[in-house]
Every structure is written in C-alpha cells, then in structure tokens.
Amino acid sequence: MAAELTAQQLTAQHRPTLDRALEAIRTRAYWSPHPEHPKAYGENGSLDLAAGKAAFDALLGTRLDLGQPGTDGWVDGETSPYGVELGVSYPHADPDVLLPAMKAGMRAWRDAGAETRALVCLEILKRIGDRTLEFAHAVMHTSGQAFMMAFQAGGPHAQDRGLEAVAYAYAEQTRTPGTAEWTKPQGKREPLALTKRFTPVPRGIGLVVGCNTFPTWNGYPGLFASLATGNAVLVKPHPRAVLPLALTVQVARRVLTEAGFDPNLVALAAERPGEGIAGTLATRPEIRIVDYTGSTEFGDWLEANARHAQVYTEKAGVNTVIVESVGDYRGMLANLAFSLSLYSGQMCTAPQNLLIPRDGVTTDQGHKSFDEVVADLAGAVDGLLGDDTRAVGLLGALVNPGVKDRLEAAADLGEVALASRRITHPEFPDAVVRTPVIVKLDGAKPDDEAACMSECFGPVSFAVAVDSASDAADLLRRTVREKGAMTVGAYTTSPEFEEEVREVCLEEAAQLSLNLTGGVYVNQTAAFSDFHGSGGNPAANAALTDAAFVANRFRVVEVRREA
C-alpha cells in the first residue's frame, strides 16, 4: 500500500518550517509558528471555541482504543482537578508483547533518514496543532490549569518545545555528512582512498514519563527528540494526566501509518492505580532512553537504576528572587504578583524564596522597609486576585490534595504576610481554588533557613529577611548548589550586585532573569530562545533544549571501504 503522505507532500508542507526553526535555534531571536491566541485556530471565533469544547466532551466516557499490540485490559479513573470525572479508558499494555512490537518498525524508521523523520514529526505537531482547542480542555482537566493557560502552555508553547527538539535532533544528525571520500596522500605512491558512509542509528525505545502539571509541555521535548533521532517512543503518562498524552500518541500513530511507517513506533503505557510501572519499564533492556519530569526521589532512582539508558530528568528545585534595589517598584510588584499567582505557583519555574535585606531596599518610590516590601507585594497579589472570576482564570485549580496540604501547613512556618483565600469556581464548584500565601521567614534563623531551602511546591512563597545583599547571594548559591533551581530572579540597580548575582548563577549554572517589570515573567521560558533549566544544578540534568539533550539519543555508525 502506498503511503498516503508522500515525501513530496511532507517536504512541501514542512521543510520551510524546519528551516525556519533551524534558523531560530541559531539566532535565538523570537519565533513561533504556533499562534498564541484562540482566535487563530479557525475562522469562526466562539464557534471554534465551542467546537473544541464539544470535541473534548465527546471524548468523555469513551474508550480510546489505540489499536496497540499487547493490550491486556483497560485503565480509567482520571478525575479533573475541576471535579469532572473524565471516564476515558486507555489500553493497558503487556510490555512483553508491546515492546518487541515497537521495535519491529525501527529499521524502516532508521532507514528513512533524519529529514523524513523530522518532517513526519512536524506533521504530527501540525495535526496536534489543528486540535489545539480540544487539547486545551484535555490539559485543563488533567493539570488544573485555567483554560487560557492550558490553551497556551499546553498548546502552542508545548508544540514549540516539540518542534524545537525536532530541529535540534535534525541539526545534530546532519552535522556528520551521509558519505565522505577520504583521500590521504602517500608522497610518490598512490594515495590511500576510502569511501565512508555514516548512518545515524537509534539507541532503542525511549520512555517518556509524563508529569501531572504540564503533560504536553514537559512531555513533548523528550518524545520528539527521541522519535526524530530514530527511536521508538513509549509514553507513560502521569495517572492523573493521561488524556493529553494519549491523544498525542493517537495522532502520532495515525500520522506514522499515513506516512507508511509502523504506528507502533509510538505507544502508550497507561497504568492501573498504584501500579507504578515507570520503574519496571525504565529498567527493561529495550528501553535505552528515559525522559522524566517529577519528584527528585524518583528522578534520582532512575538515574541510579536505569544506567543502561540515557536518563534525562527534571526534578524538584527551589527558585529564588533577590530584591536588592529597585528601579521600577510598581512594575516589580505587579510582575512578582503575577509570577506567584499564575497556576497557583504550581510551576517548576515559579519563585519560592524572595530574599530581601532586613534593612529594606532603595527604590524609585523611596526607601522601603522589609515589611513594606512584603506588604506591598501582598497587596499587589490581593489586587491582582481581587476579582474572583479573574482570579480563577489566573490561578486554575490545585492539582492534587498534596498541594493543598502543603499550602495549609505553610502558614505555620512563620508570620503570614498574605493569607491564602479560598475561591469558589463559578463553573466548577468542586475545584479547589486557593490564592497564594506569603510567609515571612528570617534567613538568620536555622529553622527558617531550612524551611525555605525545601521545595514547597504550590502557591507558597517565603519572604526571607537577610542581613545584607551579599548574604542573599550566599543563600542563593547554597540553595542552587544543594537544592537546584530552574529559575533565579533578581532586582537590582547596582552594577556591582548584578555582577555578584550573575557570578553565582554562572558558577552554579542557574538561569537568571534581571529586573523583570513588564509582561515577561521569571517562570516563563520561550522555546527557540530561552533554555528551560540548565542541566548543571540538581533541579535537572538536562536543559530544554540544547545539543546535549539530543546528541546522545542516537549514535553514528560508519561503514568504510576502499574507494
């Protein structure tokens, strides 16, 4: 049977996008082919929005049969953080059947070459992109993100990260030419001449272990990096966030089939409650790559136990913002208030510790004492979230009961500068919606320092009084070195202090945002330009996305012969 998607069609449709993505990762200037506004997805405005919702609703209560080999039962049980029972059931896989079946198509996928693989990946991303408004609901009702964030972060931004990984994978595989003629002079004798052929070969099956909060955004880089480098990919979603990745697998399998490849190159491994299959799968000999986002405990376990595989982990970290001196005090307050509120702080990039000198800081609004800064920030959060409808649109819902427990426990750690407030979601009364708490700590007290140096994932931040700006830099250094950090922020008008903080970040490999006061937030990174994590501190052993993230997912085999 001829493939429905021909190489010519794929090239015509996607090669320009691939070229543009390759340029973007070289310049790291702004670029995205995936529009960020719902209106761009169709020409009928609210009708398209409704159609996206209807497509999502039509999935509820259905069986998502992916046609996978080795399906030995069905798994369901997802409940939205908004209280909706999704009721979608997914295939449960027998790895002894599924994994060998996934390997069957790898030779043809390898032989297709880097360009075809990249173009097929771009077609998968395009099909996902066409259903962005439907995916938005799937992400919303698994992560608890508010709709607009689920749409943006789970849609175009996730697709950007996937495309970025494809571009890096393509660039890396094509750095070595397909063939080379090697002719070595031998003085007066005939030169030695060899013809060499170089082939990128995959490592095996890549395992993507998804997370609850950003199933697509954190899942796509590893999925597309492994697939584009010739590997098969088994997707093991978080048990509470299966739907977005199951739909992704469904789309991938369909596109692979249409392009003439084996659909089993991409498969889903959903698990029964409490089954904990990630560790079992990661240590299977067929699995040679693991991409993981989640707890430090399990990430460390993977790194220690899946040593036959390349393991890329994003784990816990403690993010710091230092306020040393401020050129735009109101801008800083608004910017930080948004960063603390967005998705109830349930981002690996959200600030946790706000280090402020106990003697206060100079600002464009005059000197502000420690208490004033904290109170003004609390006020800014209050103002931002004063209207319940707007608040739920920013906060979303708490993703699981653990976050709520931590939030409630945080109030006992110190003086509460801003109390968390319960909000009833107008549409989803069962959703657990809470505003952030801000707790004051004293960096000079050992107990307080210990508290702020533990990750407290969720809408909790600590305003930490420090003796001096240099003490803040020291605490930052220790925090990054010992606990890791995905982001660091600093507000300073002092070139000397800026240099001090920058040096800490360079030495401890942390990504630094300086003096953000406008519409870019420390917790946001843009694909093709910003690195997500550094891969050089304990929060993550890889960065999204750089060459190191893709270069070891394949190897190059050389066949040489006399010319």
Q: Pick from 192, 409, 419, 450: which binds a copy of itself (CB under 8 A)?
A: 192
Closest CA to 299 of 330, 271, 278: 278
Identify the bridge partners of residue 437 per DSSP, sorted by sequence position: 460
User: Counting beta carbons within 10 angstroms of the beta carbon of residue 214, is it exposed (0 to 12), middle (13 to 18) or buried (19 or more)?
Assistant: buried
Q: How far is the CB of 318 from a copy of itself (least distance, A)?
A: 18
Does residue 3 touch a copy of itself according to CB under 8 A?
A: no
The least CB distance from residue 208 to a copy of itself, in Å, is 20
How many beta carbons lie within 10 A of that of residue 71, not counting itself? Answer: 18
Beta strand 90-93 with 71-75 is antiparallel
Per rule CB under 8 A, is residue 526 in the interface with a copy of itself? yes
Residue 506 touches a copy of itself, criterion: CB under 8 A:
yes
For the bound state, the minimum distance from the C-beta of residue 501 to a copy of itself, rounded and expressed in Å, comes to 9
**Phi, psi for 121 (deg, rounded to 5):** -60, -40
Q: How far is the CB of 288 from a copy of itself (least distance, A)?
A: 9
CB 226 within 8 A of CB 266: no
Give the integer Cα–Cα distance in Å for 499 and 204. 45
Compute CA distances 433 → 249, 319, 423, whole Å. 31, 23, 5
Residue from 110, 157, 284, 440 in contact with a copy of itself (CB under 8 A): 110
In order, the DSSP letters of 192-232 are EEEEEEEEEEE-SEEEEE--SS-HHHHHHHHHHHHHHTT-E
Q: Which of 213-221, 385-393, 468-476, 535-543 is the region at the interface with a copy of itself (rule: CB under 8 A)?
A: 535-543
Subset of 201-260 contacting a copy of itself (CB under 8 A): 201, 203
Binding flags for a copy of itself, 283-312, as an x/- string (CB under 8 A): --------------------xx--x-----
Residue from the set 71, 199, 212, 264 that interacts with a copy of itself by CB under 8 A = 199
Inter-residue contact 22 to 167 (CB < 8 Å): yes
C-beta closer to a copy of itself: residue 200 or 239: 200
Using rule CB under 8 A, residue 517 touches a copy of itself: yes
Judged by CB, which is closer to a copy of itself: 30, or 366? 30
543 binds a copy of itself (CB under 8 A): yes
Compute the C-alpha angle 77/79/81, nearest 5°.
Answer: 160
Q: How many of the chain's residues bind a copy of itself (CB under 8 A)?
A: 67
Which has the closest alpha carbon to 489: 376, 379, 344, 332? Answer: 332
Binding segment for a copy of itself (CB under 8 A), chosen from 246-254, 373-381, 409-417, 548-556, is: 548-556
User: Around Cβ 426, how many Cβ atoms within 10 Å?
Assistant: 10
Question: C-beta of 383: minimal distance to a copy of itself in Å?
Answer: 21
Q: Footprint of a copy of itself on residues 344-403 (CB under 8 A)?
A: none
Per CB under 8 A, residues contacting a copy of itself are: 25-30, 107, 110, 172, 175-177, 180-186, 192, 194, 196, 198-199, 201, 203, 303-304, 307, 502-503, 505-507, 509-520, 526, 529-531, 534-536, 543, 546-548, 551-552, 555-562
